[in-house]
Amino acid sequence: MFCYQCEQAANGKGCTAAGVCGKKPEVAALQDLIIYQLKGIAWFAHEARKLGRTSDEINRFTVEALFTTVTNVNFDPERLEQVIRKGDVILQQARQLFTDTARAKFTSTAEANYPVAALFRPAETTDELIEQGAETGILKKAQEENTRSLEQMLIYGLKGMAAYADHALLLEKTDEAVFAFFHEALAYLNTELPAATALIELCMRCGSTNIRTMELLDAGNTERFGHPEPAVVSTGTHKGPAIVVSGHDLLDLELLLKQTEGTGVNVYTHGEMLPAHGYPGLRKYKHLAGHFGTAWQNQQKEFDNQPCCFLFTTNCIQKPRPGYMDRVFTTGLVAFPGVSHVNNRDFSSVIAKAKLLGGFQEQAGKTLTTGFGRNAVLSVADKIIEAVKKGAIRHFFLVGGCDGTKPGRNYYTEFVEKTPKDTVVLTLACGKFRFNHLDLGDIGGIPRLLDIGQCNDAYSAVKIAQALAGAFNCGINDLPLSLVLSWYEQKAVVILLSLLSLGIKGIRLGPTLPAFITPENLKFLVDTFNIKPIGTAQGDLDCILKKQPEPAGSTV
């Protein structure tokens, strides 16, 4: 196997024996095969769309299959094989859609014009599928290294965008233009000698299309659950049966809350589910009892031998330890071998298990604050603008992104701790668990630490920045705003592409730069967007606040 799609890539180069995430070679091969299969499906879908025909089933499969290959979603070879078997049916449907439409319009349908992936048929056995997947991996295509790097950046951007598109789909929010881009981009990846300029353009369009995708998701969440409001959330526990919900899917959480209402079972959020407490439509459930644990990478230690159930709704699952594996459940696209899976969002088995386990004892905890979405922040925009004009607020920092296991992420804690008292820190995604326990105080009643929400809520951050830029009659790059981001997986990649598509410059990125970015492509990003790797917390703060110049070579 070879995989370097996440920040944990072994030795900063790539995982070859097994994934640092826990992904086994057979899982990697099947996921590679899914991507290959999608290129064939996308070619037919793209050609059919140009002739005026689309298919909701093909659109949905494309999004779900891509999301299935995101880090920490599906570790189960059996479930991945099911995706490929279904993909074969979808590919034949896509082919039929194209050929029927083309013949009606007197267009050639000769197989000689099809890319190889469009003719793919899966083998009969699992072992043979794994062999097919091994032959479609990243390094199997003979191509120049910089081109491969750009292709992978695009693929990872598409995977990340698929996660947001899937969440939006579940809330019945779609846009034909989003599906069209998925198919156009995947279809182009069939090109034998793709042009660097075309790949760069597709990467930028992936970013801009993702902004539209996150807008759809934002609309789905806010229309169903209301706009987030500031909320103080306990990390303590109540006596009684408990279910801890991890991931990102708010619809799963809502349906679980409905099914547990009146049962005596308390529901707790975990990881990126913390911002759920800010939504009025979710907070109204009194048995949404609090928040359990910290970021995803600590789950093995925090979940071990706990007398409750754990429900994983999206990417974030790690291999469960024996001490709690029997009480782990997955739903949606999440899968792990030996773990019970919930179909059709019928959580009765989870509820029954939670009651059997007995649950937590009463225990006090600390509190965390969340719910500062764009409406909450912009409702006090006049106070923020006035504070900036008076000099009470000197600078804004957006410190957010993914958390992870590799050393170096304490930088983000230290950075936030050292921010001056006349600055405000906006944060989102699970990277906030490095510092969201800190009490930074406030500036004239405006909290210095504002949790905007999940990584899904990057749209809120963009809207806040755009609104402030409008108020000050300047561009986003002219604001007293600095972005200091941590990345881990493919959703972070597409958010970075989204920010770059807006022309935002000077982003600091860490804890390490992506292994799939070659030095030449990194130079392009540096020259075009002034991307910088993180340095030391105090040194970066001094540079940002103009106390000292950027050190020589800091942007390379």
pLDDT of residue 553: 45
Q: Check which CATH number belongs to the domain holding 256 and give it.
A: 3.40.50.2030
What does the pLDDT look like over 390-425, one tens digit per residue? 999 999 999 999 999 877 899 999 999 999 999 999
Rounded CA-CA distance 536/475 in Å is 28
Is residue 253 one of the residues assigned to a domain? Answer: yes
Are 146 and 235 found together in one domain? no
For the chain, report the end-to-end CA distance as a whole number of angstroms. 30
Same domain, 324 and 405: no
State mean pLDDT over 333-351. Answer: 98
Residue 309 lies in a domain: yes
3-state SS track over 21-43: CCCCHHHHHHHHHHHHHHHHHHH
255 and 163 both lie in a single domain: no
Q: Is the pLDDT of residue 554 over 70?
A: no
Tell me the average pLDDT across 284-297. Answer: 97
Tell me if residue 489 falls in helix, strand or coil.
coil
Q: Tell whether 422 and 341 lie within a shared domain.
A: no
Find tokens 């267009």 and name the residue. 107
What's the pTM?
0.96
Best CA proximity match to 340, nearest among 321, 327, 352: 327
Task: Note whether 121 and 50 are same-domain residues.
Answer: yes
Q: What is the pLDDT averaged over residues 340-360?
A: 98
The CATH number covering residue 215 comes to 1.20.1270.20
Per residue, what are the HEC states of 429-478? Answer: CHHHHHCCCCCCCEECCEECEEEEECHHHHHHHHHHHHHHHHHCCCCHHH
Looking at the fold, whether 236 and 149 belong to one and the same domain comes out as: no
Domain assignment of residue 371, yes or no: no
Residue type, 358: G
pLDDT reported for residue 405: 83
- Domain extent for 205: 10-223
**Model confidence at 556, in pLDDT bands (50, 70, 90)?**
very low
Asked if 99 contacts 144 with a C-beta cutoff of 8 angstroms, the reply is no
> Is residue 450 within 8 Å of residue 371, measured between CB atoms?
no
Range 433-443 average pLDDT: 96
Distance of CA 261 to the CA centre of its chain: 30
Residue 496 lies in a domain: yes
pLDDT band at 552 (very low <50, low <70, confident <90, very high): very low
Over residues 17-37, the mean pLDDT reads: 97
**Please, what is the Cα angle at 453 between 375 and 183, to 5 degrees?**
100
For residues 292 and 306, what is the distance between their CA atoms, to the nearest angstrom? 11
